[in-house]
Structure 1
Amino acid sequence: MAATISIRFFPTFLTCEPPRPSHSTGFPLRRWAAPTAALRASAASKPPPAAEGKRPPRGITKPRPVSPAMQALVGVPEIPRTQALKLIWAYIKQNNLQDPEDKKIIVCDEKLKNIFGGRERVGFLEIAGLLNPHFGK
């Protein structure tokens, strides 16, 4: 007994038919990816994440008191580590303190020497570690 197989069960690459685009992306839609009514209802009942409010900053994003040497550079008594590092990099770029031959090395001026423990030259990977003593707990 001969079995007949319908062409609709074969993938499109075997039938030589081009895939039918269903969206602007040009890819065919998959039926199993469409959300069901139950999923749409549960998604509609949840408030958007922005409406819940932000969680309080913690870790390196929490503002901490800084030493007087750091205050002279960043200009504020409390700042998160992430923002302090951004301000230090902005100061380095603004005053052209990178070594012209090796941009990974920072040539310190007086303000940076106070922060980096009196060192003349600092590698860019060392900066975050050298900031630790300037942040209170």
Structure 2
Amino acid sequence: MAANTTTKKKPSAFMKPVQVSEALAEIVGKGPMARTEVTKKLWDYIKKNKLQDPKNKRNINPDAKLAKVFGSSASIDMFKMTSKVSKHLKEAEAR
């Protein structure tokens, strides 16, 4: 039998709205917004301000705003960036 096509899929955890910290809001704007949107806006900021290391594109060289989020002004690998950013996100309260 064919599956019922009228049932809606449960949205993924990445699409759930999250609240962003004040430090992160300076970069991506006020929440709540989906994690995917936070990531997109973060990368837009990094590219706009040319914060990717030109020699090693995997590294991000934070400016003052991004250093507040990462907790350091030292260069960071883009794959480690996610764990630093996740500390600035919390699930938005249901209404």
Shared fold (TM-score, shorter chain, > 0.5): yes
Identity %: 33
Tell which has more relative contact order, 1 or 2 (C-alpha 8 A, sep 6+).
Answer: 2
Residue 55 of structure 1: how far off its partner (Å): 3.5
What secondary structure sits across from 1:136 in the alignment? Answer: strand
Distance 1:71 1:81 in 2: 13
Distance 1:58 1:92 in 2: 26
Q: State how many pairs are aligned.
A: 91
Answer with 76-85 or 96-105: which moved more.
Answer: 76-85
Distance 2:51 2:25 in 1: 19
Residue 76 of structure 1: how far off its partner (Å): 2.1
Q: TM-score of the superposition, structure 1-length normalised?
A: 0.58
After superposition, give the CA deviation of every residue in 1:53-110 in whole Å (9 maximum; x if it has no partner). Answer: 6435341220111111111111122122221111111111111111111111111001
Corresponding position: 1:127 with 2:94 = no
Q: What RMSD in Å do the two structures reach over aligned CA positions? A: 1.9
Distance 1:86 1:57 in 2: 18
Instruction: Identify unmatched segments of 5+ residues in structure 1.
Output: 1-41
Higher Cα radius of gyration: 1
Structure 1 counterpart of 2:64, from 110, 114, 121? 110
Distance 2:20 2:8 in 1: 25
Give the match for residue 98 of structure 1. 52
Instruction: Identify unmatched segments of 5+ residues in structure 2.
Output: none
Corresponding position: 1:85 with 2:78 = no
The one-letter code of the counterpart of 1:133 is K
Give the match for residue 24 of structure 2. 70
After TM superposition, the runs of 4+ consecutive aligned structure 1 residues lying more than 3 A away are 53-56
